[in-house]
Amino acid sequence: MTIGLEAGLYLDPAGMAGEGTWTLYEDVGDVNVAHSWNQSQRKIRKHTHERTTLGQGVLEVTFTVTYRAGDAGFEMLRDAHANKSIIAVAVMSGLIAAAGSEGWQFDAVVSDFPESQALEEDMTFDVTLKPASGSAVDPVRVEISGS
């Protein structure tokens, strides 16, 4: 069994097609990966139940970032949001190079970046990443094979 603490969120400002490198970003709390399919319903008289047809996938990654002044990961996310830039993200079940680790990798936009300044808590940002329409690469679910 794997717990969330063993999982990894990786960022790369170069994007999936770039020559950058994945950087583990650890100043995050819970990471949520929602994947679903767009759906249309078929209602045909010869069937007793309506049927569902699945369309395109819908992928979204959300997490909370604890603000740390000068933190490179935070600054990358902040700047990508402000500039509408594409960054690469990998949400993995373990270390990105470890055999058996699996997860989603895709080019993303930072669609939401709301700030929370609770009186007696850390200042946080609730980040939402979604696949970027300007990417030439589709999101992919990967599993790292052994060497």
CATH classification of the domain holding 50: 2.40.30
pLDDT in tens, 94-133: 999 899 999 999 999 999 999 999 999 999 999 999 999 9
- pLDDT-derived band at 147 (thresholds 50, 70, 90) equals low
Tell me, yes or no, whether 64 lies in a domain. yes
Q: What's the pLDDT score for residue 51? A: 92
How many CA atoms lie within 13 Å of 1's alpha carbon, on the beta-carbon side? 1
Residue 17 domain boundaries: 8-144
Tell me, yes or no, whether 3 lies in a domain. no
DSSP string spanning 40-88?
Answer: EEE--TTSSS-EEEEEEEEEEEEEEEEP-TT-HHHHHHHHHHHHT--EE
Tell me, yes or no, whether 119 lies in a domain. yes
pLDDT in tens, 71-84: 999 999 999 999 99
pLDDT in tens, 36-94: 999 999 998 898 999 999 999 999 999 999 999 999 999 999 999 999 999 999 999 99
Tell me, yes or no, whether 37 lies in a domain. yes
The model carries a pTM of 0.87
